[in-house]
Chain A
């Protein structure tokens, strides 16, 4: 009887541990869900659809060649197309 109680206790502790682990651990089962949450959502980042150039020389030459004005975006301090 004593051993059964001990075994039951160990089992319960193990299950509780597994549940906690499952809740916080990055498991293969959670991989796709997390990836989906982290990546840009459908209604986000419309600006990313714009074919931005990052080389001002190239942009100036192309603008003159194609007879188009520049649409200039300059960040306040960070990297415009890196961190937003």
Chain B
């Protein structure tokens, strides 16, 4: 991908597969672009006219249009912003990366890549926590060294929506069903206090079931994966906010390469997102009305 050229000469916009189902402007726009436009990239006018799938050709065609036409926006209908939920006010956004891993001959973990495009990069997602959820992660007594349980809705959100095989060959897995979280707990403890900075340590474990045959389960037998969780965060008592947050979930068996029939380790990393760019603010892939409540 010519990242520099796209950044400088175009207005890059990335939309989900279901974007065309949105009523009003978005669906009208997509109907104009093409009868079928999915899993594709193209140079398009702001009014939805497809110029080219090639960057240079698209730019040439754009520049050949009269300036008045380039700058005029057609009325394509109402834009419904409710299809783009924003992160909760005062909450935190965590960037999530997921990766299939493999042990080399020495038993050391390495990045696992196959000929399948999906395996060539880390899987990505975002985790949202509300303000009250974020606050609940900080022990009320900063000096308390004994671990305290992390609120169950947070642990369940992590287990159901993020400890899934994001990099699975052949497709994305949706969130787990509640009953597929066989067990799960996480605790937080104050590890150190230096001035306003409180260093927290998270530790936990979960046992999860997968019933999808393409994800490694047998016809009548679920695939069971045990994940360990470990993390560290820094909370600024003065600013009343997290300044760092790093959590890792790891399972020896969490990744399934269905092309080669291999059960492999899976690692999932969570880290504080700067939440500044539009892409940082993209909703969690499994976001729904029940995201914060189930």
B284 touches A82 (CB 8 A): yes
Let me know if B151 is at the binding interface, CB within 8 A.
Answer: no
Let me know if B87 is at the binding interface, CB within 8 A.
Answer: no
Q: Count A interface residues, CB 8 Å.
A: 56
Alpha-carbon distance A75/B13, docked complex (angstroms): 11
On chain A, the residues within 8 Å of B126 by CB distance are 82
A70 touches B279 (CB 8 A): no
A37 touches B101 (CB 8 A): yes
Alpha-carbon distance A57/B22, docked complex (angstroms): 13
Let me know if A83 is at the binding interface, CB within 8 A.
Answer: yes
Alpha-carbon distance A80/B284, docked complex (angstroms): 11
Let me know if B211 is at the binding interface, CB within 8 A.
Answer: no
How far does the Cβ of B52 sit from chain A's closest Cβ, in whole Å?
9
Where chain B touches its partner, the secondary structure class is mixed
A71's partner among B19, B41, B123 (CB-CB below 8 A) is B41
B3 touches A64 (CB 8 A): no
On chain B, the residues within 8 Å of A73 by CB distance are 12-15, 40-41
Given contact pairs A25-B228, A73-B12, A80-B14, A47 touches B1 in the complex (Cβ within 8 A): yes
B44's partner among A38, A53, A70 (CB-CB below 8 A) is A70
Let me know if B194 is at the binding interface, CB within 8 A.
Answer: no
A44 touches B39 (CB 8 A): no
A74 touches B121 (CB 8 A): no
Which residues in window 133-183 of B have CB below 8 A to A? 166, 172
Let me know if B199 is at the binding interface, CB within 8 A.
Answer: no
Given contact pairs A54-B281, A55-B84, A71-B43, A64 touches B72 in the complex (Cβ within 8 A): yes
Alpha-carbon distance A74/B17, docked complex (angstroms): 6
Residue in A28, A33, A58, A72 whose Cβ sees the most chain B Cβ within 10 Å: A72
